[in-house]
């Protein structure tokens, strides 16, 4: 089976993750999972990583999605980390950990950020 995390629908409020059976000659997906934006990318990337632990693109997508959630839910609302309410800190810590782990693993496998 392989995943196509780039598949998207015409509706920008959702992302499709197509699952394909490899080696069958069938180019039709055997399953499609509809995912919410940002959270969906993290979920889709996790599915890819769970099945393909060397799937660098999924690691980068999951790390990027975590960063986008940090930007949206924390940096946009609070001037510093210290200003984040204690009740929200575990979520922030989790997102920071996911971001660091995913990019660390991807870089460990040879991925490099594109710097024009």
Query: Average pLDDT of 44-49?
Result: 62
Q: Please state the domain extents for the chain.
A: 2-108
Whole-angstrom distance, CA of residue 38 vs CA of residue 70: 11
CA-nearest of 39, 49, 77, 64 to 114 is 64
Does pLDDT of 113 surpass 80? Answer: yes
**pTM over 0.75, yes/no:** no
Residues 23-40: tens digit of each pLDDT? 666 666 666 555 445 555
């Amino acid at each position: 089976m392989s995943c196509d995390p780039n598949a998207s629908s015409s509706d920008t409020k959702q992302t499709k993750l197509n699952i394909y059976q490899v080696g069958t000659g069938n180019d039709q997906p055997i399953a499609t999972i509809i995912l919410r934006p940002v959270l969906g990318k993290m979920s889709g990337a996790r599915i890819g990583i769970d099945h393909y632990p060397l799937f660098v693109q999924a690691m980068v997508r999951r790390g990027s999605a975590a960063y986008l959630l940090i930007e949206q839910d924390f940096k946009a609302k609070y001037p510093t980390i210290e200003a984040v309410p204690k009740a929200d800190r575990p979520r922030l810590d989790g997102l920071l950990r996911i971001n660091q782990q995913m990019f660390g693993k991807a870089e460990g496998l040879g991925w490099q950020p594109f710097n024009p």
